[in-house]
Amino acid sequence: MIAPDDIEEAACRIMANAAIDIPADYRRSIQRMADGESGDLSCFVLRTMLENWETATADRRPMCADTGLPRFYVKLGDHARFAGGFTGFERALRSATARATHDIPLRPNRVHPLWRTDHNNNVGINAPEIEWSFEPDVDWIEITTVHKGGLFGTDYRMLFPGDGIDGIKRFFLDTLVAFGKRGLACQPAIVGVGLGGSKDTCMVLGKQAACLRVVGDRNPDPEIAALEEELQELGNSIGMGAMGFVGKSMVADCHIEVGYTHTGGMPMSMHTFCLSSRRATVRIRADSSTEYRTDPKWFTPYMRRETVEWQTPHPVSRQSG
């Protein structure tokens, strides 16, 4: 039985990891971009960010003054057992958020939308956000925290089936150009694209695609994977680089997630994970032992299932996954 205190302590630790230590997959991507960037100002931004990340890790301080809006993604194994129930689980994550805001420290960004009041701890009505998913045949729980900016870098459009792939490309490029010209995103970024679902599902899929997959990961559908690569190439060919300066470093990677949608539409959302790319994950096993990493491994085959009944694709033990 996993105790609430163990959940809270693990959540505090991943919040510090996310705020301070940039994931290795993303750092490698930015280093490659810096090495190949021809725009002077874009190259300067990229190399400055790399130096900033090194300093943040050495000093154990958040790498950006705006530490974003902390949120959690929780994956529960069918056989996982934890004390306190789901409300106790939520309380542990809210308490971890308040503690981390004070101890790391994180900037207290959360305010009431109308009265602008806050509790100075990033906790409030519907804050932090917690999303839940499930995994068969295992007895662990996984918690991923993402510290994503909460202002801009997101857009949505209802396309139609007749718009096809060309319509997807057009919206993708229109949005990136607008973000770059108006300073509405912090480039280069991992760009997440949600296709299909209802409007709210489409937005959720796009944000998860941006925040919960590592650089270089490809959708298991080969045609979607090819579109991811094509959109990344297109995004880096518009003449914009880091922070909108002249260059070719706009998109660190592009990830697409899909959901079955209404026959008459093809909703599309776009989300840019900022130049910080702050994410961290912990797996807590049944014996309360922990494993920390930076790859959320959120989109499992079970998450992308199409059928009513789920058949495990290959035998797994309850301790694996």
The span from the CA of 93 to the CA of 103, in Å, is 15
Cβ neighbours of residue 69 closer than 8 Å, sequence gap 6 or more: 109, 110, 122, 127, 128, 129, 147, 148, 149, 150
Query: pTM here?
Result: 0.93
pLDDT (tens digit per residue) in 111-161: 999 999 999 999 999 999 999 999 999 999 999 999 988 778 899 999 999
Q: Are 57 and 20 in contact (CB under 8 A)?
A: yes
At which residue do the structure tokens 């630790």 appear? 13
Question: pLDDT 10s per residue in the chain (321 long)?
Answer: 999 999 999 999 999 999 999 999 999 999 999 999 989 999 999 999 999 999 999 999 999 889 999 999 999 999 999 999 999 999 999 999 999 999 999 999 999 999 999 999 999 999 999 999 999 999 999 999 999 887 788 999 999 999 999 999 999 999 999 988 887 888 899 999 999 999 999 999 999 999 999 999 999 999 999 999 999 999 999 999 998 899 999 999 999 999 999 999 999 999 999 888 899 999 999 999 999 999 999 999 999 999 898 887 654 444 444
CB atoms within 10 A of CB 285: 16
CATH number corresponding to 4-21+63-149+278-293: 3.30.1330
Residue 254's DSSP bridge partners are: 191
The span from the CA of 213 to the CA of 273, in Å, is 11
SS3 233: helix
Which helix (DSSP H) or strand (DSSP E) does residue 74 occupy?
Answer: strand 69-77
The span from the CA of 140 to the CA of 35, in Å, is 41
SS3 286: coil
What pLDDT sits at residue 311?
A: 81
Reference 294, options 13, 66, 25, 12; nearest CA is 25
Q: Are 295 and 215 in contact (CB under 8 A)?
A: no
First to last CA, the chain: 19
Q: What is the DSSP string of 271-284?
A: EEE-TT-EEEEEEE
The ranges of the chain annotated as CATH 3.30.1330 are 4-21+63-149+278-293
Cβ neighbours of residue 112 closer than 8 Å, sequence gap 6 or more: 118, 124, 125
Cβ neighbours of residue 59 closer than 8 Å, sequence gap 6 or more: none
The residue type at 269: S
